[in-house]
Chain A
């Protein structure tokens, strides 16, 4: 096997399976954006510094830019495109709109994925835990206070929805 070989990989993204032939050096981020046209996951620093490419893999928020796509065979991957159920937004998305938790929006999908992973693991986070969850997500517009408020509201909305069931 030479270095130019493409390897077969099945990416399981938002509940669908995508068999692909991929160069080993391709990151999950590039595979999502270029092979699957899922451009909601943003490419900014491409080096694990900014958090814009955050997706959820096997239940944990991770940087898609630092994962090789070949290392993601058969893992359970969720991107921003997989959160809404039809026209019903995820509570985190809804809370971001209500609290105006973004300006330019480039960091937003990463922020939302980090908070989604937090609320999946911990439905009643403290403010400190909300801030820790997005500590790797840089927002150069400075929407941090509204992101915190959106995190609190999303947790409330999620608890309310669970109580209504």
Chain B
């Protein structure tokens, strides 16, 4: 299989890369390439040029002191192996270890995953549950997009055509926060048939002060389980409240069915995995 012919560019700055995107509406960014290159071989994508972000300094790295900042070109393998990150955001390192397989982890990037917004990606849900944000640069300058505004639809984000994610930030979790990501892994691809990320913080009274639960794999984009979050608010996190939140997790979600898993089965998994994620989050507080 061959992709269509394309021009290959390797700019040395984000501004130059944004300029190349602005100059050619059919150009695409190349990060890890593990979604884009297969799509190009299948001719689902035939960009006129590829703008490789691999030559730009400063897009790789993890700073976990205070607000956690992660360069967009940081790979899953780097997330997986980061001890400082595992101390503050254990859900991130665990999930990175559970993406695809080691070869995918070696090349796949956090920024690429968010910009691609695959409906079965793991890190879209994790980003949403952790209330992250992305810093983006375009030809008109830089801006920050919050977690609740980034994902628009299937493979569609709020990024403008010339905008590039440069870094991903997560607020440092408050004390009393537990977090967990649970997924039903597709046995061949490792993608999430359904994945649920839960981040819960309890206050000094032991009641839930904030809960963010995000679902991937089932809807067309990573989506919060708002009803479950509201049910937990102000409650003790125990078997009873977790069961109620799990039962409500699929409410209001538009859930996809395909030849791997029917809509009904995915709906069931959303509830089961929400319960498991909340139980593990409670244990990790």
Contacts and interface: CB of A to CB of B under 8 A. Distances in A.
Interface of A: 1-5, 7, 23-25, 27, 46-49, 51, 54, 57, 60-63, 66-68, 70-71, 114, 117-118, 132-133, 135-136
Nearest to A7: B8
A112 to B, nearest CB: 14
19 contacts: A2-B7, A3-B5, A3-B49, A4-B5, A5-B7, A24-B6, A25-B2, A27-B37, A48-B38, A49-B188, A60-B77, A62-B107, A63-B107, A66-B38, A132-B101, A136-B101, A136-B102, A136-B103, A136-B104
A35 to B, nearest CB: 15
Given A3-B49, A48-B38, A68-B37, A24 B7 contact: yes
B102 A67 contact: no
Interface of B: 1-8, 30, 33-34, 37-38, 40-42, 48-50, 52, 54, 77, 100-104, 106-107, 188-190
Contacts of A61: 102-103, 106
Given A60-B77, A68-B37, A54 B5 contact: no
A133 B190 CA distance: 13
B106 A60 contact: yes
Contact of B102 (A3, A70, A132): A132
Contacts of A67: 33, 107
A63 B103 contact: yes
Contact of B100 (A4, A54, A114, A136): A136
B180 to A, nearest CB: 20
B34 A66 contact: yes
A24 B6 CA distance: 7
B54 A71 contact: yes
A115 to B, nearest CB: 11
A61 B75 CA distance: 13
A133 B5 contact: no
Contacts of B1: 46-47
